[in-house]
Structure 1
Amino acid sequence: MLELSMHILDIVQNSLRAQARRVEVRILEDLERDLLRIEVLDDGRGMPPDILKRVIDPFYTTRPARVAGLGIPFLKEAAERCGGGLEVQSQEGKGTRIVATFQLDHFDRAPLGDLGETMAILITGNPGVDFFYEHRVDGRVYRLDTAEMRAVLGTVGLEDPSVFSLIQADIREGLKKIGASTFPKIAGILRGPQSP
C-alpha cells in the first residue's frame, strides 16, 4: 500500500467485521526517538489462540470468499522494512490490539497519507460505532472522539454528508497544528507538509 492510512483503513475494517462497537486509532510520532507507532484497539469478538498464531500468514483468512488475508501481513512487512515490527494481541470476547512501529525517518517508510479522509470514511460509514482518534507529535496532541461529536451535533447523525467534510477538515487542521507529518524525512533534510 502506498500510504500507511490505507493500512489503518484495512485494519479498522477487520475490527468492524469483528463487530467492534468502539475502535481506537492512536498514532505517535516521536522525533527524538525516531519512532512512528500506529496502534488500533477494538472491543470486537477477538481471536482464539489458534487464529491469532496464523493471523500474520498471508495465505490464511477467516473470510470464506477470499483465499488470502493480506492486510496484517502487508502491515507487518511494511513495518519490518522500516526497522520496526508488528505486535498483535487478542482475546476472545474482549477485542484486539495491533501495534505497528516504524523508524520515523526511514527512507522506505510510506507516508502517513490523508488521515482526515481515512477517518472521515470510517466514521461516517459506520455511524453506530464509537471511534476515538489520537495523534501525538512530541507532546502535542490532537484528539477526536465521536461520542463527544454526537453531543455537539445533536440531531445531525454522523452519516450526514456534511459531517464527512467537517471531520476531514477538523482532523487535517488539528494535525497541521501539532506538526504531524505525512511524508518521511529523507536523509534528515525533508519533512513534508500535512496534506491540505
Structure 2
Amino acid sequence: MKEISLHIMDIVQNSITADATLIEVSLDIQYANNMISIAIRDNGRGMSKEMLAQVTSPFVTTRTTRRVGLGISLFQAGTQASGGEFCIDSTEGVGTALQATYGLDHLDRPPIGDFAGTMHTLIVSNPDIDFLVTVIVDGAQDVLDTREVREALGNDVPLDMPDVSLWLRENLDEMFKPEYTDF
C-alpha cells in the first residue's frame, strides 16, 4: 500500500470484521527518536494461537472469497523495510493488538497519507463502533474518543449525522494537521 493510513484502514477493517465494539488507533510521531509508531487495539474476537502464528503469511486469510491475505504481511514488510518493527498479539475472546514502527527519515517509509480522512471515514461508516483516536507529535497529545462524543450529544444522535460528521472531521483535521499528510 502506498500510504500508512491505508494500512491502518485495512487493519481496522479486520477489527470491524472481528466484531470489535471499541477500536483504539494511535499515531505517534517522534522527531527526536526518528520514528513513527502506529498502535491499533480492539476488543474483537481475537485469534487462536495457531492463527496468530500464521497471520503474517500472505497465504493465510479467514476470508472465504479469496485465498490470500496481504494486508498484515504488507504492513509488516513495509515497517521492516524502513528500519522499523512490527508486532501483533491476540487472544481469543479478548481482542487483538498491533504495533508498527517506521524509521521517520528512512527512504523506504511510505507517507502517512490522509490519517484524519481515514479515521473520519472509519468512524462515520461504522457509527455503532466506538473509536479512541490518539495523535502524538513529539509528546504533544490530542485525543478523540467517540464515547465522550456520544455522552455529550446523547446516545440518540448518530455519529454519521451530517453536522456531527463535519464536527468530527474538523476535530480530526486539528489533531492531524494537513501538512502531515505528505510527510
Query: Do these two structures clear the TM 0.5 threshold for a shared fold by scoring above it?
Result: yes
Structure 1 residue 182: deviation in Å?
2.8
**Structure-1 residue corresponding to 2:137:** 137
Distance 1:39 1:163 in 2: 26
**Structure-1 residue corresponding to 2:54:** 54
Distance 2:57 2:182 in 1: 29
**Runs of 5+ unmatched residues, structure 1:** 185-196
AA at the equivalent of 1:165? L
Asked whether 1:172 is paired with 2:173, we answer yes
AA at the equivalent of 2:116? G
SS for the counterpart of 1:26 is strand
Is the alpha carbon distance of 1:86 and 1:78 closer, same or farther for their aligned partners in structure 2, counting shifts above 3 Å?
same
Give the conservation status (yes or no) of the 8 Å contact 1:84–1:102.
yes
Distance 2:116 2:34 in 1: 23
Asked whether 1:81 is paired with 2:95, we answer no
- Identity level (%): 41
Structure 1 residue 156: deviation in Å?
2.5
Provide the alpha-carbon RMSD of the alignment: 1.5
**Structure-1 residue corresponding to 2:148:** 148
Distance 1:182 1:109 in 2: 13
Structure 1 residue 88: deviation in Å?
0.5
TM-score (norm 2): 0.94
Moved over 4 A (4+): none
- Number of aligned residue pairs: 182
Structure 1 residue 93: deviation in Å?
0.6
1:1-196 paired onto structure 2 within 5 Å: 1-154=1-154, 155-176=156-177, 181-184=180-183
Structure 1 residue 142: deviation in Å?
1.1
SS for the counterpart of 1:59 is coil
AA at the equivalent of 1:12? V
**Runs of 5+ unmatched residues, structure 2:** none
Q: Deviations over 1:99-155 (max 9, x none)?
A: 111001112211111111111111111111110000111111111000111123334
Structure 1 residue 84: deviation in Å?
0.7
Give the conservation status (yes or no) of the 8 Å contact 2:80–2:102.
yes
Distance 1:175 1:68 in 2: 33
**Structure-2 residue corresponding to 1:188:** none
Give the conservation status (yes or no) of the 8 Å contact 1:116–1:167.
no
TM-score (norm 1): 0.88
7-16 or 157-166, larger mean C-alpha shift: 157-166
AA at the equivalent of 2:14? N
AA at the equivalent of 1:158? L
97-106 or 157-166, larger mean C-alpha shift: 157-166
Give the conservation status (yes or no) of the 8 Å contact 1:110–1:183.
no
Structure 1 residue 160: deviation in Å?
1.3
